[in-house]
Amino acid sequence: MFEPKYRITNKILVNISKIEAAEEIIKNSPLLPLWEKKFREDAIVRSVHHGTHIEGNPLDRNDAQDVLQGKKIAARPRDVQEVINYRRVISLIDEEARRHLSKITEQLIKKLHKIVTNRVLSEDKSGVYRTQNVIIRNSATGEITFRPPPSIKVPFLMKEFVYWLNKYGSDEIHPVIKAGIAHHELVRIHPFTDGNGRVARVLATLILFLGGYDIRRFFSLEEYYDKDAVSYYESLQKASAGNLTAWLEYFSLGAAVEFERVKKKILKISKDVKMKQKIGGKQLFLNERQIKIIEYIQEVGYLQNKMFSTLFPDLSEDTVLREIKPLVNNNIVKKIGRTKSSRYILA
């Protein structure tokens, strides 16, 4: 029977407390609709780019964004397909979380893999447990760093793993702890010939979603891992010795760092409840230019006519003034002075 070995250390408790504090602020901070859309789209691009880049995909963030927008880029078909696949698997876990998936099954995990490896692996290996023994080597030295269990044990290990996933609720194992354990165990079993890391990361994210830690779909754990891939892989490898405590410290820290990052960005841009009160509680749809104007004022402190060309090099002064007018009328931005040297500040 699968029963992971770990201790709840002070580091883990501190990380989880930071996650919960950030989650509460993010969940309750009022955001204008276009900002919310912007945050979600940004999180998707970051997840897709870093989730594939950490596996060796050479496309940069701009390339990934272009692919997601349906643009053609000069790249290997495989690299483009990996980006498309990761976007599709993120959509799937989002759908499953929204319909309150009751249990995680082997069939679902195989489906995640099938999407992740669509047109990347052959049909007989996509969404199918491996039938061969594999070894993991250091890409730089060629040294064997890990030997996953023999293929003959994979079906049994996966059954035990899935049973454990559904055995405990959020009141028994904190969702962050469960997500971290699931992430590691899927990598350890290595049930597929390729794509195990990608499936492990989206499965961990799905578990966080189902446990109520979705923070409005604004976060990307993949970015944290990709920024220091060596530490990520070393932490996973050490945990394979049998004790997951250090890995869970690393995993919970990554979630805490990402949740804190999102919290700070939202507090800076949304101006908390005060912004909603200024609008009078109504839904005001701002366009990209108006968002840019507000972000600029928040960063610099004010906006003057002579700054328009810096902010919008391709727009006339009259066009920018037309974008500012609804912000002034809705008491989001306040004009101080009557001449061209007047300033616009946040109300």
Q: Which residues contact 133 (CB under 8 A, 6 or more apart)?
A: 148, 150, 151
- In this structure, the answer to whether residues 301 and 234 fall within a common structural domain is no
With respect to residue 277, please indicate whether it lies within any of the assigned structural domains.
no
Q: Tell me the CATH number at 330.
A: 1.10.10.10
- Shared-domain flag, residues 312 and 253: no
In a domain, 3, yes or no: no
200 and 317 co-located in one domain: no
Question: Using CA atoms, how far apart are residues 218 and 235, in angstroms rounded to an integer?
Answer: 25
Query: Does one domain contain both 140 and 252?
Result: yes
What's the rounded Cα separation, in Å, for the pair 56 and 331? Answer: 48
pTM for the structure as a whole: 0.80
H-helix or E-strand spanning residue 73: none
- What phi and psi values does residue 5 have, to the nearest 5 degrees? -100, 125
Beta bridge partners of residue 343, listed in sequence order: 304, 336
Are 240 and 332 part of one and the same domain?
A: no
* pLDDT score of 278: 52
Q: Is residue 279 part of a domain?
A: no
Residue 281 forms part of a structural domain? no
Mean pLDDT by 10 residues, the chain (347 residues): 96 96 84 73 93 95 95 96 97 94 97 98 97 84 87 98 95 96 97 97 96 86 93 92 96 95 78 49 68 82 89 90 89 84 85
Q: Quick one: 101 and 241 in the same domain?
A: yes
Listed in sequence order, the residues at least 6 apart from 164 whose beta carbon sits closer than 8 Å to its beta carbon are 1, 2, 3, 4
273 and 33 in contact (C-beta within 8 Å)? no
Please tell me the total count of domains within the chain. Answer: 2
Residues 194 and 313 in one domain: no
Q: Are residues 333 and 201 in the same domain?
A: no
* Separation of alpha carbons 32 and 27, rounded Å: 13
Of 220, 244, 270, the residue that ends a domain is 270
- 62 and 89 share one domain: yes
Q: Longest Cα pair distance anywhere in the chain, in angstroms?
A: 79
Give residue 290's domain range: 286-346
Q: What is the CATH number of the domain that holds 135?
A: 1.10.3290.10
Per residue in 285-322, pLDDT (tens digit) is: 677 788 788 878 877 888 999 889 888 998 899 999 99
User: CA 328 to CA 38: how far, in whole Å?
Assistant: 22
Q: Is residue 228 assigned to a domain? A: yes
Last residue of a domain, one of 270, 303, 327: 270
Cβ atoms of 229 and 51 closer than 8 Å: no
- In terms of domains, do 217 and 321 share one? no
Domain boundary among 244, 270, 296: 270
Do 37 and 202 meet the contact criterion of CB atoms below 8 Å apart? Answer: no
Quote the pLDDT of residue 5. Answer: 97
Q: What is the pLDDT of residue 272?
A: 42
Of the candidates 196, 285, 193, which has an alpha carbon nearest to the alpha carbon of residue 236? 196
194 lies in a domain?
A: yes
* 280, part of any domain: no
Residue at token pair 């998707």: 44
Tell me, yes or no, whether 136 and 245 share the same domain: yes
What's the pLDDT at 164? Answer: 97
